Amino acid sequence: MNRLIALVLRHGVPLVTLNVFLEQIGAPIPAIPTLIVAGTLTRTGRLSSTQVMIGAVLASLAADWIWFALGRHYGYRVLRQLCRISLSPDSCVRQTESSFERWGMKSLLIAKFIPGFSTVAPPLAGATRRGTVEFLIYDAGGAILWAGSAVAAGRLFHRAIAVVLAKLETLGWWSVVFAASALLMVIVVKWWQRIRFFEQLRVARISPADLHAMLERGDSPVIVDARSRLARERDPRRIPTALLTELDELDRDLGHLPPYKEIVLYCI
């Protein structure tokens, strides 16, 4: 970690700016450690906190504007491509739409604090045809809060951070092994959850032809359209008899049904 400090000292604000841009554009290079170290160095006067913040915010805005422009030009295709590389693609689009629908552009103020949402929110704002000026204002506010909290943490806890960095430095390669093992464990758990989800989905899935056959036989299942409001606006087609609801309101809207009643739900 002393090498990281030396690197930040040698290249200063340009390194912080590049690191933030790469993370916000989607590269797996976390910028928080660099921002915290930079914040620690601003406490001792070896870096300018103003310059660090300006570089970080401008880099974040540049990367997010690229995703915003791609979302505006290509629509939900960009969002689907981003969610395909997520370890939870089955819920990525729905959760992002739900958060954006609930908070609107204000969600950009906290998006960078939520893993995954940081990269997906800008193209979603573009896909929903939000204004560029409005996007840049809220996105800049979110970037200031995100980068400012990391720099402030570095300044506030500079002594404790120095002790932690020194201890990690003494571990040498073992610190890298520990961090890599923790990351690998998270990936394995998420991958296992994804496999289990698809196994359950294969058991519970019903095709449109099967549903049509059930209706022809007079089985009359309860059909539920649980798509988000944005998804319905994007594709207004629906089964005429379907009950409109949200996934977090299923208990309220379906709780009165008898346990033997068949329910067919679609939310894509």
Q: Which residue range is the domain that position 198 belongs to? A: 173-204
CA 177, CA 172: separation in Å to the nearest integer? 9
* Alpha-helical runs (H) found in the chain: 2-25, 32-43, 49-74, 76-84, 89-103, 117-127, 132-156, 158-171, 173-204, 208-217, 229-234, 250-254
Same domain, 29 and 151: yes
Same domain, 194 and 223: no
Same domain, 130 and 253: no
Question: pLDDT tens-digit profile of 33-48?
Answer: 889 888 888 887 778 8
Same domain, 161 and 188: no
DSSP 224: E
Contact 200, 40 (CB under 8 A): no
CA 214, CA 261: separation in Å to the nearest integer? 13
Confidence check: pLDDT of 166 > 70: no
Same domain, 31 and 123: yes
Please state, in angstroms and as integers, the Cα–Cα distance from residue 99 to each residue in 23, 66, 86, 195, 230, following that order.
Answer: 22, 21, 17, 25, 11
pLDDT-based confidence at 8, cuts 50/70/90? Answer: low
Question: pLDDT tens-digit profile of 210-222?
Answer: 877 887 887 778 8
Same domain, 221 and 183: no
Q: What share of the chain has pLDDT > 90, as a percent?
A: 19
Same domain, 185 and 262: no
Same domain, 147 and 16: yes
Same domain, 94 and 183: no
* Alpha-helical runs (H) found in 157-172: 158-171
Please state, in angstroms and as integers, the Cα–Cα distance from residue 151 to each residue in 35, 60, 87, 196, following that order.
Answer: 6, 15, 29, 40
Confidence check: pLDDT of 200 > 60: no
Residue carrying structure tokens 């954006």: 100
CA 39, CA 222: separation in Å to the nearest integer? 57
Same domain, 213 and 162: no
Contact 108, 135 (CB under 8 A): yes
Lowest mean pLDDT among 49-63, 103-117, 123-137, 242-256: 242-256
Same domain, 91 and 149: yes
Same domain, 252 and 199: no
Q: Last residue of some domain: 117, 147, 171?
A: 171
CA 151, CA 157: separation in Å to the nearest integer? 10
pLDDT-based confidence at 20, cuts 50/70/90? Answer: very high
Count other Cβ atoms within 10 Å, centred on residue 37.
Answer: 25
- Please count the structural domains in the chain: 3
Contact 18, 59 (CB under 8 A): yes
pTM: 0.64
Confidence check: pLDDT of 197 > 60: no
- 143-173: string of b/e by CB count within 10 Å (b at 16+)? beebbbbbbebbbebbeebbeebeebeeeee
Count other Cβ atoms within 10 Å, centred on residue 192.
Answer: 10
